[in-house]
Amino acid sequence: MSGGTERDSLLLVSVRTFLVSASFAGSVLVLQAAAPPVVNEALTGRQVFPATNWWNTEITSAPVDTRSAALIDFISGRTATNRTPIRRLHPDFGPPPYGFPYIVVAGDQARVPVTFTDYGDESDSGAAGLPGYPLPLEAGTQANYIEGGVAGGGSTGDRHLLVIDRDRWLLYETFATLWNGGAARWEAGSGAVFDLSRNDRRPEGWTSADAAGLAIFPGLIRYDEALGTAEITHAFRVTTRGSNGYVWPASHAAGTNASAPPMGARLRLKASKDISGFAPEVQRIFRAMKRYGLIVADNGSDMYISGTMDARWNNSVLNPAFNALTADDFEVVQLGWKPTAPISAPTNLRIVR
């Protein structure tokens, strides 16, 4: 799989219902209708990856890694001569411009080429038999479609763009996303496509739109889940300031600090931690941290937990609640741990159809 080529271009137009895609090779203009995209569409009742996927694996019975205490010390910033630092959790999401927006499009959304500038040999040019990415016009012209909140991505930050084809149940993710108006094309540092109905893992050694080679969307704390009535049944994405190689389920390394956790490491909120005093939506989030944990997916600030960019989040609730937990409330699950027996279906969930 390879990235798009410079001979392809995207021409942004002001009419919502049409996308004009020009192919210089064939000199053919194609008009394609597309239903409007929806930012942060609730996906109630949709299974994001199979229940057996690593994001959805319950880890309450997983063994603690022998280096758990040392890894927590690193995350906390402790050294042999300074044992006092602690690291508090932080919700790396909230109202714009904080967090990851995600866009849900229909199957008729026009697909356009993306030129990959950093990891072209590890990026997907599209889904199998379906070249291009379904990037809506609005992402290039309106704010809050791309991480960071800048129309077209801007020039700083990670600028992740997450798009879900609801009809084909495909997830498209790009990193360092930019609409290059001068060259009339979409560019990204890297990109990956995931079939949300399968457990396909990236090729060994490959990145994705995330440093660990994992999908980003399934590890986000979403408003509709936190404020819903059912339990959250997946792990969350977390960053640490350094990393050391990778372990399953990750496929890509982004650091060699021997004291740091590897990409793919799982942290689990200790079962003994009392969370009964928090707001109901926060308890729901913290229970998921006990049952499914956190997966180290990128280098960044220690114990920053990823979630959606959504105007409905209340930071006056989130910030003090997350700040009440520290890295010491967590333990590191055995690195690379996989369940040895089939996972039984949860019995405490309400299925909404």
Of 145, 210, 207, 202, which is closest to residue 178 (Cα–Cα)? 145
Same domain, residue pair 244 and 297: yes
DSSP strand pairing (236-240 vs 304-309): antiparallel
| Residue 312 covered by a domain | yes
pLDDT in the model for residue 342: 53
Q: Tell me the residue length of the chain.
A: 353
Of 270, 261, 321, 318, which is closest to residue 67 (Cα–Cα)? 261
Same domain, residue pair 91 and 108: no
pLDDT in the model for residue 28: 36
Same domain, residue pair 113 and 19: yes
| Residue 346 covered by a domain | no
DSSP strand pairing (178-180 vs 185-188): antiparallel
- Out of 195, 228, 258, a domain closes at 195
Of 280, 234, 281, 283, which is closest to residue 52 (Cα–Cα)? 234
- Out of 149, 166, 195, a domain closes at 195
For residue 293, give both structure tokens: 């944990």
Same domain, residue pair 235 and 318: yes
Same domain, residue pair 259 and 150: no
pLDDT in the model for residue 274: 98
| Residue 352 covered by a domain | no
Same domain, residue pair 79 and 109: no
pTM of the model: 0.88
Same domain, residue pair 168 and 308: no
pLDDT in the model for residue 353: 35
Q: Are 54 and 249 in contact (CB under 8 A)?
A: yes
| Residue 349 covered by a domain | no
CA 6 to chain CA mean position, Å = 28
Distances from the Cα of 210 to the Cαs of 161, 259, 297, in angstroms? Answer: 11, 21, 7
pLDDT in the model for residue 10: 38
| Residue 325 covered by a domain | yes
CA 222 to chain CA mean position, Å = 11
Amino acid identity of 146? I
Same domain, residue pair 33 and 153: yes
Same domain, residue pair 84 and 104: no
> Considering its fold, how many domains does the chain have in total?
2
Same domain, residue pair 217 and 280: yes
Same domain, residue pair 221 and 89: yes
Q: Are 243 and 297 in contact (CB under 8 A)?
A: no
| Residue 115 covered by a domain | yes
| Residue 348 covered by a domain | no
Same domain, residue pair 38 and 160: yes
| Residue 338 covered by a domain | no
Mean pLDDT, consecutive 10-residue segments, the chain of 353 residues?
36 38 35 79 95 98 98 97 98 98 97 98 96 97 98 97 98 98 97 98 98 98 96 98 98 98 98 98 98 98 98 97 98 96 49 38
* Spatial distance between the Cα atoms of 221 and 306, rounded to a whole number of angstroms: 6
pLDDT in the model for residue 340: 84
Of 62, 86, 60, which is closest to residue 73 (Cα–Cα)? 86
Q: Which domain, by its residues, includes 247?
A: 54-97+213-332
CA atoms within 13 A on the CB side of 248: 10
SS3 category, 135: coil
